[in-house]
């Protein structure tokens, strides 16, 4: 019996061998496991923004500033992504900071403001994906000024890049060289420092010595109002965007003189009298008297609160709230954001009279250097219908004598005429 | 069916007919002359012993009958027998046992102790099977393809459980949910809890009536009590009723009259040897059987088995893009995909679009951040952090089986049997999700009258899901219990704020996501900590219907059936068999699984069958025709035929041809399930009342297909739910060649499925607003938002045909000295399937099997071994839980054994997955490694 086993063990051995060969030559494949999603850098580059700033000599002043405030590590971090509106040395010089040595002299908060206001964290905004819609796009910078109430989200100061056919700006500062891409984001070299705002509109307007009438007019317009329906409260509300056309004192004086002069003549007319030369002299005297009363005139009964409110409302640009349709002072328009061809922008007057055409804005764009296009002249024409709904008429245009005064919650222009809505 | 007929010599089919006639004659004679016979009879006892001629060992369970008489008995565990006979001497004893040559022993003196020596013979093709025709026939003459595992095969297997041997049979696929939970199928459509494959244990359908999976691998026969396992690949409804479209598995236990004495087996092993999944841990499998023939009329048996181990783990941590019950693997890990949904990670199925739900509202409240938020992706789906399967699912596999039977012979031909199986344990099952089956209890109890020609049987299946819980639902609720997803203190709000803060600090999106997750997950209970266990225990003890993960299921099945073999009266015309059954399901899940929150649901089913067979042309052609009719109260009645022919082309060489139809009614779940699964999809039943309840008529449901994603929603067409049918054509050949040393088994089949039951996904607007489907940009987000849409998975019939075909070849060669070499190649193909339907074919295109074994060689034939190799192609696996590619794999099992003859002890050293090459055979299922064990068995027959 055993013999038969031994006799056939060769066969058995052969069978075992064949089976063994089959098995050992064909191992099971490794069981498939999870594969991470590969995340490539924001751009096809091996250099970080920080490294570029560090090594490129034309960024030496910004490098000094960023180094001083400890921002270089952040800008070199490849787990992050940034858009930097980077002032190169020429931009610093153009803005009055001639060298890195000056940076060391500046208060550190100012340096921090310059550096961090140039940075949009967490997003790569290229010129290509910047909206061309009026007026601009609001994006947070790296300057944190508080916390969103009731949340842990930081409240960061905003910046307002914009794009048009022939230009790309951050706020009102032109971008000279856009879209230099690095592994952790993109740099846009700007023509000057994009300065962070430091005041609210209320304080900024109050502090301007040429706007005493405007401030008095706001006080009059607000009488009897409460809360955010007060212009004063609005101007003091941090988290909004406003564009305010602030007529200077001369403009108001002209208006007041005209109102008083015309008022005297209208009074005579109402009596049925034909004005004499004396009457004209009296009208002049009345006008001069009203002007001599100073801004206090705006709190007298010579003019109604409703009239003042209407005038002020016409100096706040407004657009419809997309949710409610109500006109609200919700846009921050820098001079470069206005259309090249004269166009109307609506104002808060539209909140009480929606069909109002608004104000005709006529900017003059000038290219002062290659890729540096700015607005060199800006005119606002008040336009109304008289009587309301009737034939349109326009007064003489107001010229902006001071442009792009940037505050935390908006931008204001000083203009040389008071615009009248109707 | 009790193998009463097996006492007939296996190769005596023609004689069988003759004998039946004689039996009938004798019956009449006995009835007519009973008193005179009693008066004349003189009972004698013949004693003897049967030995193996080669080894000299006593052979147990050998049939000893009197030629031309009715008396018969079996040898006991030592080979001894005592046969009471009233036949006059001289007489002839017929001594037979599978694996030995039939022996006729003349007896002239009943008082002499008779020593009988049986010569071992090749068993190739000699086995007798019952399931193919419900009557005993030689396996070579079976009219359909059939595979058989005998007690001898089990004795020599390397598998740790006899149930695992099924997976090594030709053409069989197994899906292993876990160590002890495996589901076999043939010819495709496999999955955990296969619904197209009947499993019948001692005549009882062992599908858990509510859970819908066959419990054979965890509850049922203990290994020592299995006499045979017969597998019918392909359609089998014509004899076994609804469900057997892709096969039937018929497992029979050992008759206590035949297999007597005490047996036990202790297997102790080790698994997880390479610490891939967990630390090395022991595997225990202890089983016991004790059968006693108290008298010629009364015998009983009891048995038990205990399995204990640390389970295999589902550890597929690939990222899965889930949509309802479909989806696919995608790139991603927890730290690279904020919406990561690991396949075997649970709790991370909860997903919310933080853009639309938190960030956009935040941007509306703080408009100066609106452009920044708008610049973020339009949809930011974020999943909650999940837990690994091994953290959520009970790691301890325990399986306790208890069984017992009493058998009383009322007459020589009629027995009254009562039998019960009860089992409990912990295991893991994959259905629509992964389930930790904890303290699951299933009992099957039957009483039956078995006559030579007929039986009458009543049984019940009593199911209790115990403390079982759905891993996905439990983990998701765990997360909610720890920190709710919603609200301004909720996880997603915290996450979103932290995400935005991190963005504002400059982080890239993915870095901001990871930072946000770290913030929202602060204090998240660590797996295994006291807090973790406290929350987990709480969540999984609350029923699903009350917002927990526990599913309560106490569904029962009651069945009465009978069969009569009319052949003794009809054999001149044909052999005719008739039978019928009545089935009643009582669904009881207390609203956790079925739509039975208001009370139990009953489902009645009746069926009847008839089979006729006749031999022609000198017995060279055997035609067998069967037909069956079934009616389920929720479905129209079904009639199914089977016609087969066996042509004997030469001795021991037969060609078989079969046409058969099979069908299934929707399972109890397909009729009445009402369950929200992991991804939030509502799995609902197919009966009409669901469509009324969910107002499909007034608030239409839309097909989730390409049209929907393109913004052109199409109202889903859901016709009345019907039974599924398959028409199967099969041709095969089985024969012995080369001096009966080579057994060849060939088959080919073609199946056409009509009204194929599949699930289809439809979506409905919660508020009846169809516009939520009209914008292609938001459709997917809306589908995943339960506040906007509900997705339903509805059982439906596929209008077009689904066709399958396949073939197989098996060769078994009997080498000298008891060596046996086997090889097989099988192939299954899904030919045609309509677009967008999940067929879940789940069969590899090719499989290869090989085995090399010897049941006795070397010193006194005491040595044995068995090596089994299996390779299968990759499978594009589809299941309710997850879909994806299961790579090709191979396994090698092996054992060597030594028999201590004097002590009747078998020592085995074995291993399954000997090379410890981990594999998965179902997508999302456990990853299986090697088990290495030592087994000591006493009196293993």
- Given a cut of 50, whether residue B3 has pLDDT beyond it is no
Query: What are residue A412's DSSP bridge partners?
Result: A244, A405
| Each residue's pLDDT tens digit, B589-641 | 888 888 888 889 999 999 999 999 999 888 899 999 999 899 999 998 888 89
- Residue-level pLDDT at B481: 95
Q: CB of A166 within 8 A of CB of A374?
A: no
- Residue-level pLDDT at A365: 95
Residue B377: closest C-alpha in chain A: A123
Q: Which helix (H) or strand (E) holds A234?
A: helix A231-235
Residue B893: closest C-alpha in chain A: A23
Of B550 and B23, the one with more pLDDT: B550
Q: Taking CB atoms and an 8 Å limit, are B861 and A81 in contact across chains?
A: no
Residue A125: closest C-alpha in chain B: B375
Q: Which residues of B touch A38 (CB under 8 A)?
A: 331, 336
- Given a cut of 80, whether residue B14 has pLDDT beyond it is no
Question: Chain A contact for B657, CB < 8 A?
Answer: no
What share of residues in chain B are helix, strand, coil (percent, to 5)? Answer: 15, 45, 35
- Residue-level pLDDT at B519: 97
Report the alpha-carbon distance of residue B724 to residue B799 in Å, rounded.
11
- Given a cut of 70, whether residue B193 has pLDDT beyond it is yes
Most confident of B32-36, B314-318, B706-710: B314-318
Q: Taking CB atoms and an 8 Å limit, are A16 and B819 in contact across chains?
A: no
Residue from B354, B364, B817, B888 to probe the interface with A (highest A Cβ count within 10 Å): B817
- Given a cut of 90, whether residue B458 has pLDDT beyond it is yes
Per-residue pLDDT of chain A (422 residues; tens, 9 = 90+): 444 545 556 666 666 666 666 655 567 778 889 999 999 998 999 999 999 999 999 999 999 999 999 999 999 999 999 999 999 999 999 999 999 999 999 999 999 999 999 999 999 999 999 999 999 999 999 999 889 888 889 999 999 999 998 899 999 999 999 999 999 999 999 999 999 999 999 999 999 999 999 999 999 999 988 887 899 999 999 888 999 999 999 999 988 888 888 778 878 888 877 778 888 888 888 888 888 888 988 888 888 898 899 999 999 999 998 888 899 999 999 999 999 999 999 999 999 888 888 999 999 999 998 889 999 999 999 876 554 455 566 678 899 999 999 999 999 999 999 998 76
Report the alpha-carbon distance of residue A398 to residue B817 in Å, rounded.
117
| Each residue's pLDDT tens digit, B232-254 | 988 877 778 788 888 899 999 99
Mind telling me how many Å the CA of A135 is from chain B's nearest CA? 13
| Each residue's pLDDT tens digit, B566-579 | 998 998 888 999 99
Mind telling me how many Å the CA of A29 is from chain B's nearest CA? 7
What is the per-residue DSSP string for A185-218?
Answer: EEEEEESS--PPP-S-HHHHHHH-GGGHHHHHHH
- Given a cut of 60, whether residue B438 has pLDDT beyond it is yes
Map residue A49 onto helix, strand or coil: helix
In this prediction, what percent of chain B has a pLDDT beyond 70? Answer: 95
Q: Which two tokens stand for residue B844?
A: 């590899």
Torsion angle (degrees, nearest 10) of CA B170, B176, B179, B180: -80
Report the alpha-carbon distance of residue A53 to residue A180 in Å, rounded.
12
| A149-160 exposure pattern, b = at least 16 Cβ within 10 A, e = fewer | eebebbbbbbbb
Q: Taking CB atoms and an 8 Å limit, are B869 and A19 in contact across chains?
A: yes
Report the alpha-carbon distance of residue B782 to residue B773 in Å, rounded.
8
| Each residue's pLDDT tens digit, B851-893 | 999 988 888 889 999 999 999 999 999 888 888 999 999 999 9
Q: Which residues of B touch A241 (CB under 8 A)?
A: 368
In this prediction, what percent of chain B has a pLDDT beyond 90? Answer: 52
Within 108-137 of B, beta carbons closer than 8 Å to A belong to: none
Residue B42: pLDDT band (50, 70, 90) is: low
Cβ-Cβ pairs closer than 8 A, A with B, add up to: 163
Q: Taking CB atoms and an 8 Å limit, are B369 and A79 in contact across chains?
A: no
Q: Taking CB atoms and an 8 Å limit, are A8 and B817 in contact across chains?
A: yes
Which of A7, A31, A34 has the CB atom closest to B332's CB atom?
Answer: A34
- Given a cut of 50, whether residue B15 has pLDDT beyond it is no
Residue B781 burial (CB < 10 Å; 0-12/13-18/19+)?
buried
Residue A75: closest C-alpha in chain B: B506
Q: Taking CB atoms and an 8 Å limit, are B927 and A22 in contact across chains?
A: no
Residue B67: pLDDT band (50, 70, 90) is: confident
Which of A1, A23, A122 has the CB atom closest to B504's CB atom?
Answer: A122
- Residue-level pLDDT at B43: 73
Q: Taking CB atoms and an 8 Å limit, are B918 and A28 in contact across chains?
A: yes
- Given a cut of 90, whether residue B36 has pLDDT beyond it is no
Within 769-828 of B, beta carbons closer than 8 Å to A belong to: 815-817, 819, 821
Report the alpha-carbon distance of residue B811 to residue B779 in Å, rounded.
55
Ranges of H-type helices in B740-820: 779-783
Q: Taking CB atoms and an 8 Å limit, are B372 and A241 in contact across chains?
A: no
- Report how far Cα B232 is from the mean position of its chain's Cα atoms: 13
Q: Taking CB atoms and an 8 Å limit, are B331 and A123 in contact across chains?
A: no
Of B681 and B278, the one with more pLDDT: B278
Residue from A9, A28, A331 to probe the interface with B (highest B Cβ count within 10 Å): A28
Backbone φ and ψ of B906, nearest 5° = -110, 120
Mean pLDDT of B22-51: 56
Which of A28, A38, A119 has the CB atom closest to B890's CB atom?
Answer: A28
Q: Which residues of A touch B852 (CB under 8 A)?
A: 12, 15-16, 19
Mean pLDDT of B803-809: 94
Q: Which helix (H) or strand (E) holds B662?
A: strand B653-664
- Given a cut of 50, whether residue B26 has pLDDT beyond it is no
- Residue-level pLDDT at A24: 58
Mind telling me how many Å the CA of A244 is from chain B's nearest CA? 18
Question: Chain A contact for B911, CB < 8 A?
Answer: no
Q: What is the mean pLDDT of chain B?
A: 88
Closest CA to A397 of A371, A378, A369, A375: A378
Report the alpha-carbon distance of residue B203 to residue A353 in Å, rounded.
89
Residue B678: pLDDT band (50, 70, 90) is: low
Mind telling me how many Å the CA of B508 is from chain A's nearest CA? 5
- Residue-level pLDDT at B17: 44
3-state DSSP of B611-631 = EEEEEECCCCEEEEEEEEEEE
Largest separation between any pair of C-alpha atoms in chain B: 114
Q: Taking CB atoms and an 8 Å limit, are A33 and B318 in contact across chains?
A: yes
Q: Taking CB atoms and an 8 Å limit, are B852 and A33 in contact across chains?
A: no
| Each residue's pLDDT tens digit, B550-559 | 888 899 999 9
Residue B33: pLDDT band (50, 70, 90) is: very low
Question: Chain A contact for B862, CB < 8 A?
Answer: no
- Report how far Cα A239 is from the mean position of its chain's Cα atoms: 12
Q: CB of A87 within 8 A of CB of A64?
A: no
Mind telling me how many Å the CA of B865 is from chain A's nearest CA? 12
Within 367-426 of B, beta carbons closer than 8 Å to A belong to: 367-372, 375
Residue A304 burial (CB < 10 Å; 0-12/13-18/19+)?
exposed
Phi-psi region of B892 (alpha: psi -120 to 50; beta: other; left: phi over 0): beta
ipTM value: 0.90
Report the alpha-carbon distance of residue B790 to residue B383 in Å, rounded.
19
Residue B920: closest C-alpha in chain A: A31
Q: CB of B906 within 8 A of CB of B941?
A: no
Q: Which residues of A touch B505 (CB under 8 A)?
A: 80, 121-122, 154
Could you tell me which residues come within 8 angstroms of residue A306 by beta carbon, excluding any fewer than 6 positions away?
A: none
Mind telling me how many Å the CA of B662 is from chain A's nearest CA? 37
Q: Which residues of B touch A26 (CB under 8 A)?
A: 871, 890
Q: Taking CB atoms and an 8 Å limit, are A35 and B366 in contact across chains?
A: no
- Residue-level pLDDT at B1: 35
Which of A2, A121, A137 has the CB atom closest to B506's CB atom?
Answer: A121
| Each residue's pLDDT tens digit, B499-514 | 999 999 999 999 999 9
Map residue A286 onto helix, strand or coil: helix
| Each residue's pLDDT tens digit, A303-361 | 889 889 999 999 999 999 888 889 999 999 999 999 999 999 999 999 988 888 899 99
Question: Worst-scoring range by mean pLDDT, A119-133, B31-45, B206-220, B840-854?
Answer: B31-45
Of B118 and B6, the one with more pLDDT: B118
Mind telling me how many Å the CA of B366 is from chain A's nearest CA? 8
- Given a cut of 50, whether residue B37 has pLDDT beyond it is no
Report the alpha-carbon distance of residue A233 to residue B189 in Å, rounded.
73
Closest CA to A219 of A294, A316, A308, A328: A308
Which of B331, B503, B920 has the CB atom closest to A37's CB atom?
Answer: B331
Question: Worst-scoring range by mean pLDDT, A16-30, A291-305, B41-55, B359-373?
Answer: A16-30
Question: Chain A contact for B512, CB < 8 A?
Answer: yes
- Residue-level pLDDT at B96: 87
């Amino acid at each position: 019996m055993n013999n038969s086993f031994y006799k056939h063990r060769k066969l058995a051995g052969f069978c075992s061998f064949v089976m063994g060969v089959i098995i050992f030559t064909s191992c099971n494949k490794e069981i498939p496991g999870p594969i991470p999603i590969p995340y490539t850098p924001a751009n096809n580059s091996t250099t970080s923004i920080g490294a570029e700033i560090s090594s490129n000599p034309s960024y030496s002043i910004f490098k000094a500033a960023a180094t001083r405030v400890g921002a270089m590590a952040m800008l070199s971090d490849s787990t992050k992504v940034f858009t930097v509106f980077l002032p190169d040395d020429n931009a610093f010089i153009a803005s009055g900071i001639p060298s890195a040595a000056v940076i060391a002299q500046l208060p550190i908060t100012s340096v921090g403001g310059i550096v961090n206001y140039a940075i949009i964290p967490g997003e790569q905004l290229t010129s290509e994906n910047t909206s061309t819609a009026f007026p601009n796009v609001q994006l947070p910078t790296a300057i944190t000024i508080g916390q969103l109430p009731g949340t842990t989200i930081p409240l960061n100061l905003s910046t307002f890049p914009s794009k048009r056919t022939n230009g790309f700006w951050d706020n009102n500062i032109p971008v000279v060289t856009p879209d230099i891409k690095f592994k952790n984001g993109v740099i846009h070299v700007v023509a000057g420092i994009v300065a962070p705002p430091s005041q609210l509109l209320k304080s900024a307007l109050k502090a301007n010595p040429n706007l005493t009438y405007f401030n008095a007019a706001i006080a009059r317009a607000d009488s009897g109002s409460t809360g955010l329906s007060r212009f004063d409260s609005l101007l003091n509300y941090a988290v909004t965007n406003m564009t305010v056309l602030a007529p200077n004192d001369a403009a108001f004086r002209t208006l007041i003189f005209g109102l008083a002069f015309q008022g005297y003549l209208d009074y005579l007319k109402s009596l049925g009298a034909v004005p004499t030369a004396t009457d004209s002299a009296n009208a002049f005297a009345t006008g001069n008297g009203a002007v001599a009363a100073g801004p206090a005139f705006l709190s007298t009964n010579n003019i109604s609160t409703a009239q003042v409110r209407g005038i002020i409302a016409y100096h706040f640009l407004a657009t419809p709230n997309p949710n409610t349709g109500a006109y609200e002072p919700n846009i921050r328009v820098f001079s470069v954001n206005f259309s090249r061809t004269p166009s109307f922008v609506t104002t808060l007057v539209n909140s009480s009279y929606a069909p109002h055409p608004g104000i005709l804005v006529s900017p003059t764009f000038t290219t002062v250097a290659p890729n540096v296009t700015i607005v060199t002249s800006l005119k606002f024409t008040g336009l109304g219908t008289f009587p309301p709904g009737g034939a349109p008429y326009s007064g003489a245009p107001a010229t902006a004598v001071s442009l792009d005064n940037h505050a935390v919650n908006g931008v204001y222009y000083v203009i040389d005429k008071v615009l009248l809505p109707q | 069916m009790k193998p009463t007929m097996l006492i007939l010599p296996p190769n005596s089919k023609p004689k069988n007919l003759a004998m039946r006639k004689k039996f009938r004659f004798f019956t009449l004679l006995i009835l007519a002359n009973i008193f005179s016979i009693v008066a004349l009879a003189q009972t004698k006892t013949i004693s003897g012993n049967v030995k193996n001629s080669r080894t000299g060992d006593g052979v147990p369970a050998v049939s000893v009958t009197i030629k031309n008489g009715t008396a018969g008995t079996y040898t006991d565990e030592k080979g001894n027998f005592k046969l009471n006979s009233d036949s006059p001497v001289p007489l002839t004893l017929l001594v037979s046992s599978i694996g030995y040559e039939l022996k006729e022993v003349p007896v002239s003196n009943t008082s002499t102790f008779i020593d009988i020596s049986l010569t071992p013979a090749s068993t190739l093709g000699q086995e007798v099977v019952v399931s193919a025709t419900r009557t005993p026939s030689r396996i070579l003459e079976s009219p359909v393809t059939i595979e058989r595992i005998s007690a001898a095969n089990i004795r020599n297997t390397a598998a740790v459980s006899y149930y695992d041997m099924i997976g090594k049979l030709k053409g069989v696929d197994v899906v292993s949910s876990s160590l002890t939970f495996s589901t076999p199928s043939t010819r495709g459509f496999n999955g955990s809890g296969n619904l197209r494959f009947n499993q019948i244990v001692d005549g009882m359908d062992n599908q858990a009536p509510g859970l819908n999976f066959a419990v054979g691998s965890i509850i049922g026969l203990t290994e020592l009590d299995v006499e045979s396992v017969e597998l019918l690949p392909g359609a089998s409804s014509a004899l076994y009723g609804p469900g057997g479209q892709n096969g039937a598995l018929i497992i029979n236990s050992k008759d206590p009259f035949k297999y007597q004495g005490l047996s036990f087996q202790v297997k102790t092993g080790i698994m997880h040897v390479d610490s891939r999944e967990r630390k090395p841990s022991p595997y225990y499998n202890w089983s016991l059987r004790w059968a006693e023939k108290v008298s010629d009329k009364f015998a009983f048996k009891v048995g038990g088995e205990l399995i204990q181990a640390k389970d295999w783990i589902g550890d597929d941590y690939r990222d899965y893009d889930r949509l309802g019950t479909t989806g696919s693997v995608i790139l991603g890990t927890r730290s690279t995909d904020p919406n990561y949904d690991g396949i075997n990670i649970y709790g991370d199925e909860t997903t919310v679009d933080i853009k639309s739900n938190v960030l956009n509202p935040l941007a509306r409240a703080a408009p100066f951040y609106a452009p920044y938020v708008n610049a973020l992706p339009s949809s930011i789906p974020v999943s909650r952090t999940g837990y690994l399967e091994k953290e959520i699912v009970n790691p301890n596999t325990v399986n306790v089986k208890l069984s017992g039977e009493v058998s009383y012979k009322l007459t020589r031909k009629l027995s009254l049997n009562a039998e019960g199986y009860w089992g409990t344990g912990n295991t893991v099952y994959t259905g629509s999700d992964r389930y930790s089956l904890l303290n699951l209890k299933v009992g099957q109890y039957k009483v039956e009258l078995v006559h030579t020609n007929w039986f009458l049987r009543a049984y019940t299946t009593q199911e209790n899901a115990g403390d079982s819980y759905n891993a996905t639902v439990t983990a998701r609720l765990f997360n909610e219990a720890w920190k709710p997803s919603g609200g301004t203190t909720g996880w997603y709000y915290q996450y979103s704020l932290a995400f935005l803060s991190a963005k504002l600090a400059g982080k890239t999106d993915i870095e901001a996501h990871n930072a946000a997750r770290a913030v929202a997950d602060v204090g998240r209970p660590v797996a295994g900590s006291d807090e973790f266990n406290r929350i987990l225990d709480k969540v999984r003890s609350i029923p699903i219907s009350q917002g927990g993960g526990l599913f309560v299921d106490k569904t029962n099945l009651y069945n009465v059936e009978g069969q009569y073999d009319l052949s003794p009266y009809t054999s001149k015309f044909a052999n005719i068999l008739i039978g019928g059954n009545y089935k009643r399901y009582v669904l009881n899940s207390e609203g956790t699984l079925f739509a039975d929150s208001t009370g139990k649901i009953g489902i009645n089913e009746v069926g009847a069958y008839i089979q006729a067979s006749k031999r022609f042309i000198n017995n060279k052609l055997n035609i067998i025709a069967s037909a069956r009719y079934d009616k389920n109260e929720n479905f129209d009645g079904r009639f199914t035929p089977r016609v087969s022919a066996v042509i004997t082309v030469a001795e021991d060489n037969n060609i078989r041809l079969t046409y058969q139809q099979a069908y299934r009614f929707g399972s109890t779940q397909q009729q009445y399930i009402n369950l929200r699964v992991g991804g939030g999809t509502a799995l609902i039943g197919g009966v009409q009342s669901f469509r009324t309840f969910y107002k499909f008529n007034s608030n239409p449901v839309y097909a989730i297909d390409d049209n929907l994603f393109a913004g052109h929603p199409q109202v889903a067409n859901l016709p009345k739910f019907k039974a599924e049918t398959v028409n199967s054509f099969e041709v095969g050949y089985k024969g012995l060649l080369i001096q009966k040393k080579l057994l060849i088994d060939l088959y080919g089949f073609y199946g056409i499925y009509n009204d194929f039951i599949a699930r289809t996904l439809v979506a409905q607007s919660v508020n009846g607003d169809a516009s939520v489907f009209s914008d292609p940009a938001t459709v997917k987000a809306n589908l995943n938002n339960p506040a906007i849409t509900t997705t339903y998975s509805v059982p439906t019939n596929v209008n077009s045909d689904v066709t399958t075909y396949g073939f197989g070849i098996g060769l078994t060669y009997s080498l000298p000295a008891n060596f046996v070499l086997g090889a097989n190649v099988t192939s299954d193909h899904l030919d045609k399937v309509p677009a967008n339907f999940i067929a879940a074919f789940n069969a590899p295109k090719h499989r290869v099997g090989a085995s090399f074994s010897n049941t006795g060689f070397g010193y006194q034939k005491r040595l044995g071994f068995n090596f089994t190799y299996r390779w299968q192609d990759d499978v594009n696996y589809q299941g309710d839980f997850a879909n994806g590619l299961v790579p090709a794999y191979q396994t090698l099992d092996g054992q060597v054994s030594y028999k201590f003859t004097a002590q009747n002890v078998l020592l085995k050293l074995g291993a399954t997955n000997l090379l410890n090459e981990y594999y998965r055979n179902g997508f999302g299922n456990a990853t299986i490694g090697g088990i290495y064990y030592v087994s000591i068995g006493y009196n293993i027959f």
